[in-house]
Every structure is written in structure tokens, then in C-alpha cells.
A = this chain, B = another copy of it.
Amino acid sequence: MSSNVCPGTTCSVCGFRSEVFQTLSTDQLEQLTRRKSIRAARKGDIIAKQGSQIMGFIFLRTGLAKLTRLNAEGRQQIVGIATPNDFVGLLSVFSSDSYHFSIIALEDSEYCCVDLELVKELVVKEGKFAMSLLEKISRVSDLLLQNRLNIDLLQLRGRVAYIICYFANEVYRQRSFNLPISRREIAELIDMRVENVVRILSEFRRDGIITIEGTAINILKPEKLRWIKEHG
């Protein structure tokens, strides 16, 4: 939970600006700069906690984070993965006053926390800003839902293939990378059990589809993996 405030960077040079804040005036950007804080989170740090009051509009600048949720039964579930420039407060921000998910850093990350009241003020004052926010929020949330719907129809083999492809294609854009999450977390992400994640990964390795050593994954047969993710 220890998140350090970083030396301020002005919002006018922020990567997020090009996507959402592009429509704001220099003046408004300065206002934004004054009422935001950039923070650093170490791997494992809790950026926001499910159920706690929403303090600000949060988006990820660098790094990687998971959105998690504890259901009524006490079972942990990973709702999705946030990559740089995703806002992670998600829909809750505008429909509730408390976070519906926890946000936890998977890698050392930087995130920006903008005063929520200011964002709301800007929505009301600056129509174009409101519009681009709507677009961005829609895109991120829609993608989250699509991923989940896709996974729901797959059997376990297909789910594991899906998530490997996800990291390869959407996150790291490389055939070979280090899994940022544990076997347990993979299980929580695609609604299955640790043992079966392990078993299926071993199976993929045996079949020469991937190599995997610890967290290091290398995809040997992308076509085959894609086939499994689609038909498995």
C-alpha cells in the first residue's frame, strides 16, 4: 500500500493526454497538473482497494496491474489486466462512490491520480473532453466484457491458450515473454483451478506448442495455440 508520490510531471506531456486530454486548453491542463498526483507502485502494491471510497480518477502510466474482486463467497477473481494508458477506476468511477474492484500492481508501475471532482467539472464544462472520455471509457470497458464473454465459452485448454495469446499479442507484443502473474492468478483470471493451469501448461510444453520455465514463456507454434484458443 506504500505508494510514493513522484516528482510532478505536467499533464501537457503525459501519454494519456494524446488520448483523452487532448481537447483541454493549456489553462485547463495546468489546473489538472495542480490537482493530480503521480505515484509509484511496486510490484504487489495495492493501488486501490475494493469497497474503499473513490478518491480520484486513476489511470496507469507505466507498468501493469490487475483488477481483482472478492465475491460474496470469499473467492478471489481477476476481472482483467490493465496496461499503460488504461484508466483503472473503470465504470465504478461514474456509477458508484466506492471501487468495485481492487487494483494491484503486477509490475513496478506509475499511475496518475486526478482529483475526481475536477474531472467531473471538466466533463460538464468541456464537451469535447466529455466526448473523448466517453469514448475511452467505452472502449476499455467493452474490451473487458468481450474478453470475459469469449473465455466463458471455452474449455480449460482454450482458456489457457487464450490468456497466453492475450499476453503475447496485447501486452508484450512478442512471442516470448515473462508471465507477469502466478499460476494461481492465471486460474483466478480465467475461472479455473491452479492444478489444471499447471497441468495444461505442461501439456502444451509436452506437445511442443510452448516452452515454459518458471515464468518464461516462448510460443513455438502460434497457429496451433490460436486454433486451441478458438476451438478449445
Contacts and interface: CB of A to CB of B under 8 A. Distances in A.
A152 B191 contact: yes
A130 B134 contact: yes
B141 A91 contact: yes
Interface in A126-152: 126-128, 130-131, 133-135, 137-139, 141-142, 144-146, 148-150, 152
Interface in A157-203: 191
A152 B152 contact: yes
Interface stretch (A10-18, A69-77, A217-225): A69-77
Nearest to A158: B73
A103 interface: no
A50 B100 CA distance: 29
Interface stretch (A104-112, A117-125, A205-213): A117-125
A95 B138 contact: yes
A79 interface: yes
A124 B135 contact: no
A96 interface: yes
Interface in A29-73: 69, 71-73
Contacts of A79: 145, 149
A153 interface: yes
A184 to B, nearest CB: 15
Nearest to A127: B124
Contacts of A124: 127-128, 130-131
Contacts of A94: 134-135, 137-138
Interface of A: 69, 71-73, 75, 77, 79, 90-96, 100, 120, 123-128, 130-131, 133-135, 137-139, 141-142, 144-146, 148-150, 152-153, 191, 230-231
